[in-house]
Amino acid sequence: MQKNPNKKRKVLSYIIITISSLIMLTPFITAALNSLKSYVQYTAIPVEWIPDPVQWENYVEVWKMTDFAQYGWNSLVVTVLSVVGALFSCSLVGYAFARLEFRFKNSLFIMVLGTLMIPPVVMIIPQFIIFKNMGLLDTLVPLWILEWLAQPFGIFLMRQAFLAIPKEYEEAAKLDGCSPLQTYWRIFLPMCKPQLATLTIFTFMAKWNEIMAPVIYLSSQEKFTLPIGVLSMSGAWFGQEQYLVAAALMTLIPILIVFLFTEKFFVKGASSSGLK
């Protein structure tokens, strides 16, 4: 009997995907189990994988021992303002590069892409001096204001999305009397939801987990965002490291919620823009 080669390849693909998924999930599952252990069980040798009894109160203790709500609120403010700024500025600039005609357009776009090769660490000192002269140190403003200036990755993503829209839509909008800005807002932007969702997730993850900028610009404890707020408490948890693991997992919850709500658009946007 001749076996179907397509069926064999499909089975092999499922096996590879399953093994890869398990490998990638192992650190997360291990952290989740460690967050539910007592310290004795957390440091036991040989390793005790399953918490017994389950210490759900670890999460309650983390909430009580830190200003978790304040840190979370600061992170939320920074992240929401960053996402709104990125969506607005990147889509507007991307639309201009995709659908408008002006001098040196291609050269300017190449220059924008070229800035992707500049390591962020190179910009730290100039940005710090600018924000210092503006009196914005120890405020949340430096953490989100740059996203309102259109970042190159977002510009590229949105430009590709606008380029994929047939020209007939633009011509029909002109016949209806729409200006370029009205065409952008009313016609083109609603057609780019997958790419907007992709940009939302990338910006949200980057800003929610950002550590370097808050460490540089913030000095007051009450202004700390969630990542550095949790890290600042790590010394107080010496001998209780299971709390640190629980706190790290708690910081992931908003990212998971955002991803679940935008997963459908994210996959569509990633596949249509070549971000695989």
Which tokens in the block code for residue 78?
């920074």
Note the pLDDT of residue 82: 95
Higher pLDDT, 26 or 268: 26
Q: Is the CB of residue 264 less than 8 Å from the CB of residue 198? A: no
Q: Is the CB of residue 33 less than 8 Å from the CB of residue 53? A: no
Q: Is the CB of residue 52 less than 8 Å from the CB of residue 41? A: yes
Among the residues of the chain, which ranges form H helices?
5-34, 39-42, 57-65, 68-99, 105-114, 124-133, 141-144, 152-163, 167-175, 180-182, 193-208, 212-217, 226-232, 241-272
d(CA 275, CA 194): 12
What does the mean pLDDT of the chain come to? 86
Q: How confident is the model over 132-151, as pLDDT tens digits? A: 999 999 999 999 999 999 89
Higher pLDDT, 176 or 89: 89
Note the pLDDT of residue 94: 94
Note the pLDDT of residue 84: 96
d(CA 67, CA 122): 33
Q: How confident is the model over 55-70, as pLDDT tens digits? A: 888 888 888 888 888 9
pLDDT grade for 270, boundaries at 50, 70 and 90:
low
Q: How confident is the model over 178-235, as pLDDT tens digits? A: 898 999 999 899 988 888 988 998 899 899 989 889 999 999 988 999 888 888 877 7
Give me the mean pLDDT over the 123-128 stretch: 90
Please state which of the ranges 115-124, 131-140, 264-273 shows the lowest mean pLDDT: 264-273
pLDDT grade for 275, boundaries at 50, 70 and 90:
very low
Give me the mean pLDDT over the 77-93 stretch: 95
Higher pLDDT, 4 or 93: 93
Q: What percent of the chain has pLDDT over 90?
A: 33
Max CA-CA distance within the chain? Answer: 79
The yes-or-no verdict on residue 266 having pLDDT over 70 is no
- 92: amino acid identity, one letter: L
Give me the mean pLDDT over the 167-187 stretch: 89
pLDDT grade for 271, boundaries at 50, 70 and 90:
low
Q: Using the 8-state DSSP alphabet, how is residue 121 labeled? A: G
Q: Using the 8-state DSSP alphabet, how is residue 236 labeled? A: G
Q: Is the CB of residue 201 less than 8 Å from the CB of residue 218? A: no
Which tokens in the block code for residue 207?
């800003």
